[in-house]
Amino acid sequence: MIHFKLDSKTIMTQDEMKQAVAQEALNYVIENTIIGVGTGSTANFFIDSLAIMKNKIKGAVASSDATAQRLKLHDIKVFDLNDVKQISVYIDGADESDNDLNLIKGGGGALTREKIVAAVADKFICIADESKLVDIIGKFPLPVEVIPMSANYVSREIVKKIGGTVKLRDFTTDNGNLILDISDLEIVHPKAIETILNSIVGVVTNGLFANSSADVLLLGTPSGVKKIVGKVF
Ligand code: 5RP
């Protein structure tokens, strides 16, 4: 664990914890390779930290247009995934994680591209502040990306198959699709729920990363960055 010098008056903000894990994630970047980069405020801190070693990597595959733009602002080369055979590591935030590193992602609406880049990468390092670690995921509304014409049908099927309350987000994804957010869930069997949601016609993907989850979670806490290991790493 990395320790911060804290006196009784020092309080770490959520952003400071995000910055700390973003900095720590640099240790997982493999030189001379192409890495995958996620989306959101924690991923943004990572991109800003990555700038310092931009000449040591070949470049990055971005999980969203916003991330691609930020990488380019730092003069980090952005690759199209179709031009890349291997991604050494994928680094991204999460909206919630349980202790087994089952994640809810997609608060920023980039879940589909995030899942694709994570699937290609050899390892997935998740970076988050301590507020994201929970006993049972589901308090954060679970995002589901859907083909626009299917939104109402998929909403009805979700309620029938797993329950919860479904709300259409006022948002269009980078892929031109819509997002349904499911609240009022307690996800005790994340792998099963992920599979059930993916089986509904019209669903592009859902924000559960359980069947293929993170390998490592770097968690920012006021007393330092904690490393939680999922599968063998
Ligand atoms: C975006 C995501 C993000 O990783 C997630 O929303 C966490 O965001 P932040 O780092 O801003 O808390 O899945 O689609």
pLDDT tens-place string over residues 113-145: 999 999 999 999 999 999 999 999 999 999 999
Q: Is 24 a catalytic residue?
A: no
Q: What is the pLDDT of residue 11?
A: 78
- Per-residue pLDDT, averaged over 25-29, amounts to 98
Measure the CA–CA gap between 120 and 34, rounded to whole angstroms.
Answer: 11
Chain-centre distance of CA 188, in angstroms?
A: 20
Q: Whose CA is nearest to atom 1 of ligand 1?
A: 108
What does pLDDT average to over the chain?
95
Residue 60 has pLDDT above 80, yes or no: yes
Q: What is the pLDDT of residue 9?
A: 47
Other CB atoms within 10 A of residue 196 CB: 17
Residue 4 has pLDDT above 60, yes or no: no
Check pocket membership of 106 for ligand 1, CB cut-off 6 A. yes
Among 2-16, 85-99, 100-114, 167-181, the minimum mean pLDDT is found in 2-16
Which residues, in sequence order, are bridge partners of residue 34?
59
Q: What is the pLDDT of residue 216?
A: 98
Q: Whose CA is nearest to atom 8 of ligand 1?
A: 40
Ligand 1 atom with the shortest distance to the CA of 44: 10
Report CA(107)–ligand 1 centroid distance (Å).
5
Measure the CA–CA gap between 176 and 194, rounded to whole angstroms.
Answer: 22
Check pocket membership of 111 for ligand 1, CB cut-off 6 A. yes
Residues 6+ apart with CB under 8 A from 154: 144, 146, 180, 200, 201, 202, 203
Report CA(108)–ligand 1 centroid distance (Å).
5
Pocket mutation for ligand 1, best pick of 17, 19, 39 (most atoms within 8 Å of C-beta): 39
**pLDDT band (50, 70, 90) for residue 230:** confident
Check pocket membership of 143 for ligand 1, CB cut-off 6 A. no
Check pocket membership of 14 for ligand 1, CB cut-off 6 A. no
Q: What is the pLDDT of residue 18?
A: 97
Report CA(191)–ligand 1 centroid distance (Å).
20
Check pocket membership of 35 for ligand 1, CB cut-off 6 A. no
- Of 91, 72, 86, 94, nearest to 29 by C-alpha is 91
Give the pLDDT confidence of 147-201 residue by residue, as tens digits. 999 999 999 999 999 999 999 999 999 999 999 999 999 999 999 999 999 999 9
Catalytic residue among 16, 24, 31, 114: 114
Own/partner contacts of 166-170, CB < 8 Å, gap of 24 or more, are 167/141, 169/109, 169/143
